[in-house]
Amino acid sequence: MAERELTADNAITRFQVGDTAVRGRVVRLGGVIDGILSAHQFPDPVSELLGEAACVVSMMGVALKFDGKLIFQAQGGGPVAMIVADYAAGALRVTASLRGEIVGRGAAALLGDGHIAMTIDQGAEMERYQGVTPIEGDSLADAAVAYFDQSEQIPTVVKLAVGKIVIPGQPEQWRAGGIMAQFVPGEGGHRERGEKLLMDEDDRDIWERAAAFIETTQHDELLDPEISVETLLYRLFHEDGVRVFEAQPVRAECGCNRDKIAIVLERYAEQELSDMVEDGAIKVTCEFCRKDYHFTPAGEPVDAT
């Protein structure tokens, strides 16, 4: 790897293994994911699941070749009814809805039987693309791999880690990290979908070797702020060589605002608005960023926040 500035937190880094068709991304989230998960105050197992979803949608969303939004949604019959994460040009947000007591950890225990939907929103004047597959495996990483296997037929490997760490002199903080790679000879070309069906024996050998290396990635390598992305990739691929490209920053950003909510409230009848009033006002809390907006009983904004 050429000398370059080490990748910081809250960024997605693309890489390519040597001169092969194995291409991937690494995401490292520090303050961004800590702020998001701390605002929600979900039980830790739910926060871990949301952190994993944030990593998945970030690593997938950065690959979009246009200014659009990638929406990751997992819905099941377990105590976590649904998780939603979306990524658009570096802006990340996540949320979840719960329906029961949180018991256990991981996608299988919390979501149960259900499905994953990946939606690419290209804007108001463009048609949406959506792929839907059943939730498979014990973890969200397993489910993401199954999605690509079934919906896109692209060989994929994903490793995720979410947890709290303690840095001396600082409060406990959430961190999240992930690495994914795919065998995509035609990235930017014509052989991106259905690649699994086109692989020859040499392709499979190259892919299986790279995937096996990635599977050795440990949680601490994805979470430890002292281990840079470059160090991690060198550990995995120093025998084959690895090209590391410029990192793309990630930020926590929500599209909610007072005017949008006011427009929604205008659709409600007077009695429906009256039923929303508590302590003389209507309070609306954004499901994603947890910001509160206040309105009069008639639905008029009462502050400029």
| Other CB atoms within 10 A of residue 75 CB | 19
Identify the CATH number of the domain in which residue 52 sits.
3.55.30.10
Report pLDDT digits (tens) over 200-230: 888 899 999 999 999 999 999 999 999 999 9
Task: Name the CA radius of gyration of the chain, rounded.
Answer: 21
- 194 with 127, same domain: the answer is yes
Three-state DSSP class for residue 97: strand
Closest by alpha carbon to 265, among 288, 292, 294, 305?
294
DSSP code of residue 186: T
92 and 219 share one domain: yes
Position 4 in a domain: no
Asked whether residue 5 is domain-assigned, the answer is no
Domain-embedded: residue 280: yes
What pLDDT, on the 0 to 100 scale, is given for residue 6?
60
Q: Do both 157 and 289 map to the same domain?
A: no
Q: What is the mean pLDDT of the chain?
A: 89
pTM, whole model, 2 decimals? 0.88
Residue 263 sits in which domain range? 258-295
Q: Are residues 196 and 267 in the same domain?
A: no
Residues 44 and 178 reside in one and the same domain: yes
The angle, 0 to 180 degrees and rounded to 10, between the axes of the packed helices 140-147 and 44-61 is: 30
Residues of the chain with pLDDT below 50 are 1-4, 187-191, 305
pLDDT digits (tens, 9 = 90+) for 281-305: 999 989 899 999 999 888 888 865 4
144 and 156 in contact (C-beta within 8 Å)? Answer: yes
Residues 290, 246, single domain; the answer is no
Pair 33, 272: CB distance under 8 Å: no
- Other beta carbons within 10 angstroms of residue 32's beta carbon come to 23
Whether 59 and 86 map to the same domain: the answer is: yes
Query: How far is it, in rounded angstroms, from Cα 265 to Cα 273?
Result: 8
Q: 177 with 288, same domain?
A: no
Which residues share a beta bridge with 159? 179
State whether 127 and 273 are in the same domain: no
Say if 263 falls within a structural domain. yes
d(CA 4, CA 54): 27
Domain count within the chain: 2
Instruction: Calculate the alpha carbon distances from 161 to 52, 106, 218 in Å.
Output: 7, 11, 8
Residue 106 lies in a domain: yes
Domain contains 303: no
